[in-house]
A and B are shown apart, each in its own frame.
Chain A
Amino acid sequence: MKRDASVYLKPLDFKRGCIEMNHGAGGRVGAQLVAQLFAPAFDNEFLRQGNDGARLPVPPPGHRLVMATDAHVIAPLFFPGGDIGSLAVHGTVNDVAMLGATPLYLSASFILEEGLPLQQLQRIVASMAAASRACGVPVVTGDTKVVERGKGDGVFISTTGVGLLPAARDIGGANARAGDVLLLSGSIGEHGVAVLSQRESLQFDTEIRSDSAPLHTLVAALLAAVPEGAVHVLRDPTRGGLATTLNEIAAQSGVGLRLDEAAIPVQPQVAAACELLGLDPLYIANEGKLVAIVAPAAAEAALAALRAHPLGAGAARIGEVVADPQHFVQMHTTVGGQRIVDWLSGEPLPRIC
């Protein structure tokens, strides 16, 4: 982020002003946006270096680095339980954490649409900075570009995260083994339903809030409670929901999964909204839940550790890993039948009748 130039400029009008093309043109006005909005909000020692990139310390011996990136596009920008700013922090922190790594740093790229009210941008940046501080993961470098009106959806935020991974740790989607136990950290579908409830064409009254949350401390608590190597897979079931995540894992690990529908926690309001709209909570996005696939001997301790953490209070054992050459995710239904839980086909769209 560049420093301000020392010529008088009218202060940014956060009440009535909006993003204009020259905010992204690289001139004084752009520098002013950085100096008056981004730099103070995200302030940290790395950002204060004032360069186009951040100089970071070398990781301690016996560790590896992990890096994850995530682009955030969401309409509406603000939703019950969060906004695009906090989501951009949580999403990437969680991607790093799902490898069993400790997230250290974030970068942030903002693509702003001409006409975006500065008041909204200020709210988003404040929320993002607060989320970053709450996670203890600073935004150490960033960039801003402006696109013409109509070529963006208000604001897009792309974040990249760097984390530290002990050399011996191997957690990944290919590591599920037959006999492993499937744990879920809490109820599903809240983020997707909260966002859907705010869509212009579909507004409905609900108290459902997005579950958007950083999961790295929950992961740390889980890993501390079981022997190293007992946690085989960690994944956050975001876009495509639990069903998609489990199908990814089954395919990547070359196994089948068996779920128990009655054991999968769904808040009554989420279930009701899904019934009404003809949606299946299994395919609805989450932003603050994780799936852990653990060795059977460690399952009890892992579940207890999840439940002892505020973000895992609703954790449940939802199924197991089996050998299955077809890599099917199957579910024992509440009424006592069987079904496949398939990949999502197309977008999850409300049914007609």
Chain B
Amino acid sequence: MKYVDEFRDPALARRLADELRAAVDPARRYRLMEFCGGHTHALARHGVLDLLPPQVHMVHGPGCPVCVLPVGRIDMALQLALERGVTLCSYGDVLRVPASAGQSLQRAKAQGADIRMVYSPADALQIARANPSREVVFLAIGFETTTPPSALVIRQAAQQGLKNFSLLCNHVLTPAAMMHMLQAPPAAADDAPALDGFVGPAHVSVVIGSAPYEPFARRWHKPVVIAGFEPLDLMQAILMLVRQVDDGRAEVENQYTRAVTREGNRVAQALTAEVFELRDSFEWRGLGEVPHSALRIRPAYAAFDAERRFPLQYRAVPDHKQCECGAILRGAKSPSDCRLFATVCTPENPLGSCMVSSEGSCAAHFSYGRFRGTAVVAA
């Protein structure tokens, strides 16, 4: 397939793997975090981890929107659907996220709640237009990639004077979470060694540009290389990071030049700024409260803010006591270090955030990589 096969070419992959092996300093370790869950998924799905030299250790970051959505926020959506009787729309991935008391949106739907899977917020807006007597709420989640479409439907709803549409906003911000990864003091139980650099997200960077990562290089002396989602994109970005570390450089480099600019998509940024404003703090599943890490709807659009429209109770729900998601997200532990992993915590029965979606590090390891470390008998 054009524009995809080129980025999965086995001969080029071998060449990049050879270059990487030649570039690494055998005496040191390179701890690189791919922030984005799409990258975590791509590394596992394409078996890229097998092509990396043993010195390169990839730490799977918190950039999986479904994973970091706290249970308490899903509980709020369930309150809307079950107690307020609204038509609740969201992305398919969100529907199966476990909520409190064995509940989930999918289960609530089976129990009779009006819950619809949509492919975009525009579909939710259309449902609201077609059903003027129903309250329709779009459960919005995601990073900077999915924020502009949410902003757009709010603006459209305002322009069209819709009275029955609102949005439960859970949009979160990539740079704030990256900052948190660097600032958060290591928990007493683990002392995660410092990260050597970041693989910057692909689609998020298309929207925000590469400039927001510059403080990581300047202030924190961490190299950032923005990468596309294909296996060769990732390998090249990892090579660029290794070279920066070897040279003692800390710069923002852009491997994904076919889509990302320094400024990003200004139209999308302006739209987002018009409709949304920064929250003081927001809970991230696995990370806890992260300051200035999420958006809420501006007062000018309060009529379309489900949190203002309905009296909703937010109650933080702690993860399972033995869940190691926090340590895994900080890179202090790997999924197989967790006693719950693949025993009681599986993609069918996720207990912690990293198992919730295929982009979470535990789910990716479970679904694609759990053969590692088990004996394989050849025929």
Q: Which A residues form the contact surface with B (CB < 8 A)?
A: 178-179, 201-202, 256, 262, 268, 271-272, 275, 280, 320-326, 328, 330-340, 342, 345-347, 349-353
Contacts and interface: CB of A to CB of B under 8 A. Distances in A.
Interface of A is mostly: loop
Nearest to A277: B119
B118 interface: yes
Nearest to B201: A353
Given A336-B10, A339-B368, 18 more contacts: A202-B119, A262-B10, A268-B2, A323-B379, A324-B376, A328-B371, A331-B47, A333-B46, A338-B371, A339-B46, A340-B367, A345-B363, A346-B348, A349-B95, A352-B94, A353-B38, A353-B142, A353-B204
B370 A340 contact: yes
A320 B378 CA distance: 11
Contacts of B231: 333, 335
Q: Which of B44, B117, B119, B348 has the most CB of A within 10 A?
A: B119
Contacts of B14: 336
Contacts of B47: 331-333, 335-339
Nearest to B350: A345
Nearest to A328: B371
B34 interface: no
Contacts of A328: 371, 374, 376
A345 B348 contact: yes
Interface string B202-234: 011000000000000000000000000001100
B145 A353 contact: yes
Contact of A325 (B118, B232, B377): B377
B143 A353 contact: yes
Given A333-B47, A337-B47, A337-B50, A349 B123 contact: no
B13 A339 contact: no
A313 B49 CA distance: 35
A335 B377 contact: no
B30 interface: no
B377 A323 contact: yes
A322 B379 contact: yes
19 contacts: A201-B118, A272-B1, A322-B378, A333-B231, A335-B47, A335-B231, A336-B10, A338-B371, A339-B45, A340-B370, A345-B347, A345-B348, A347-B92, A349-B95, A350-B91, A352-B141, A352-B142, A353-B65, A353-B146
Among all A-B residue pairs, the 9 with the closest Cβ atoms = A337-B47, A349-B92, A337-B50, A333-B47, A345-B347, A335-B13, A353-B145, A339-B368, A322-B379
